Chain A
């Protein structure tokens, strides 16, 4: 194997890596896609949803052939107290209109399919191989080391995920900071197709996406999620790691406790847990961006921290796909020039700057500041749930004027000043 030299070695067969491999192989480059899992997808998990527009630009109407679950046409955001829930629910067929729609996906099958597309296009895939180190020559990366094997290439694309040990080895990034990542844990819970449709008011292939703020994380910054698959739901919690360390909440306990919240339990009743999984989510956007290139190397996807969490939606795969495609575009430009130095490869960052990846990250760059506001997870859910509860409850006493009741709750739980501060942060961030 060491005799051979590839145009590009891509580490990690997730959406960034497989898209890059697909694009490069289609242009006739010699590509090796290396994956540590037994098969592509076997190490990958997420909460559950893929926004389609970006992969549609690479593989038009990919959802017609890819293993996708349900098309999201129902969006719900709930504020939870220990006993109650206030839910904003949006049903709209427009949400399902291609290509600005989204699908719930299960990554083991989906990622295997996408890697298969790269292979069909001519990329070579090597699975079950952990890349241990980079090879260097003349100050540039020139290949990878995996066990005893050394494999050479003009460029290495590190698409090795949020923990990107390769970006770290290349000196492009230091240690991840706890406040920059979240830890997510999820149970896939099998339920009959008909039960899912009945419980979530869905027809046919329609799907629901639900996010939960408040009691699920026991008041710690983070949130719950529930996405409907065809015959299961993906259900779990995400915690900001920095805040979690201070809160001292057990992730393994909290995610199981959450199943029994009064607003959740009826949705899951009778379901059978078939898998339990966990992952880190890079959530600090541009604040955690590593250097994205060096001589002979580029960084894409989660490895580059390309995830957006706005509090009401979470996007990662769509950004991974675009960054993988743009990394491929940069490699092609470098190959045409016959120069793989940092000076040439920096065009990757220019491509990203001109793309939606940077404009999206830039647009939501103040959100992490809002999401670290502790009141978002305790005071706000309590306020909305308790005000609405008083509004709908008939006690047989002389009624309190609504305005007075609202003021009373605000004074009891927080202050106008604090609310205004959150409102201001919210307005600034989205």
Chain B
């Protein structure tokens, strides 16, 4: 049995990425001051990474669970569902 990276796992899912209107935006100034940075480990898709200076984030691959939104008590994350038809499309669910 092979260990799958998160990228390999997300590649198995069907996404319709909205390139015009990301459904999540972040205020990186708040992130710089955040001590715990829970988004970097609670996101099941591991879409948030801290590079030592900034949080980098990519909304493609988002599973739309909302964990980041609830965990981010500093309110750096503006969260919505993707526009209709965009985002993840579960085939099993």
B22 at the interface (CB under 8 A from A): no
Q: Which of A217-266 contact B (CB under 8 A)?
A: 232, 234, 239, 241, 244-245, 248-253, 255-256, 259-260, 265
A313 at the interface (CB under 8 A from B): no
For residue A160, which residue of chain B has the nearest CB? Answer: B81
> Do A250 and B73 touch (CB < 8 A)?
no
A233 to B: closest C-beta gap in Å: 11
B25 at the interface (CB under 8 A from A): no
> Do A188 and B92 touch (CB < 8 A)?
yes
Residues of B within 8 A of A41 (CB): 90, 93
Residues of A within 8 A of B88 (CB): 42-43, 277
B13 at the interface (CB under 8 A from A): yes
Residues of B within 8 A of A250 (CB): 41, 46
Q: Spot the interface stretch: A22-30, A72-80, A105-113, A416-424.
A: A105-113
> Does more than half of chain A's interface fall in helix, strand or loop, or is it mixed?
mixed
Residues of B within 8 A of A265 (CB): 1
> Do A45 and B81 touch (CB < 8 A)?
no
Q: Which of A129, A162, A276 contacts B13 (CB 8 A)?
A: A276
For residue A129, which residue of chain B has the nearest CB? Answer: B84
Which of A176, A181, A187, A276 has the largest number of chain B CB atoms within 10 A?
A: A276
Which of B41, B69, B80, B89 has the largest number of chain A CB atoms within 10 A?
A: B41
Q: Spot the interface stretch: A135-143, A267-275, A323-331, A397-405.
A: A267-275
Q: A107-B93, A108-B92, A252-B6 are in contact. Are A183 and B81 (CB under 8 A)?
A: no
Q: Mark B1-15, 1 if CB is under 8 A from A, else 0.
A: 101101001101100
> Do B91 and A178 touch (CB < 8 A)?
no
Category for how many chain B residues contact A: 35 or more
> Do B44 and A278 touch (CB < 8 A)?
yes
| CA of A277 to CA of B10, assembled, Å | 9
> Do B84 and A130 touch (CB < 8 A)?
yes
Q: A108-B93, A280-B70 are in contact. Are A187 and B83 (CB under 8 A)?
A: no
Q: Mark A328-366, 1 if CB is under 8 A from B, else 0.
A: 000000000000000000000000000000000000000
Which of A109, A234, A251 has the largest number of chain B CB atoms within 10 A?
A: A251
| CA of A188 to CA of B93, assembled, Å | 8
For residue A105, which residue of chain B has the nearest CB? Answer: B93
Q: Which of B44, B79, B89 contacts A37 (CB 8 A)?
A: B89
> Do B92 and A280 touch (CB < 8 A)?
no
Q: Which of A43, A181, A249, A273 contacts B9 (CB 8 A)?
A: A273
Pairs across A and B, CB under 8 Å, 30 listed: A38-B89, A42-B88, A43-B87, A106-B92, A106-B93, A107-B90, A108-B93, A130-B84, A147-B84, A163-B66, A163-B79, A176-B70, A178-B70, A183-B67, A188-B92, A232-B92, A245-B42, A251-B46, A252-B6, A252-B44, A252-B45, A253-B46, A256-B6, A260-B1, A265-B1, A268-B1, A273-B9, A276-B13, A277-B63, A280-B70
Given contacts A232-B92, A278-B63, 5 further A-B contacts (CB under 8 A): A36-B82, A37-B85, A165-B81, A241-B42, A273-B9
Residue positions of B touching A, CB distance < 8 A: 1, 3-4, 6, 9-10, 12-13, 16, 36, 38, 41-46, 63-67, 69-71, 73, 79-85, 87-93
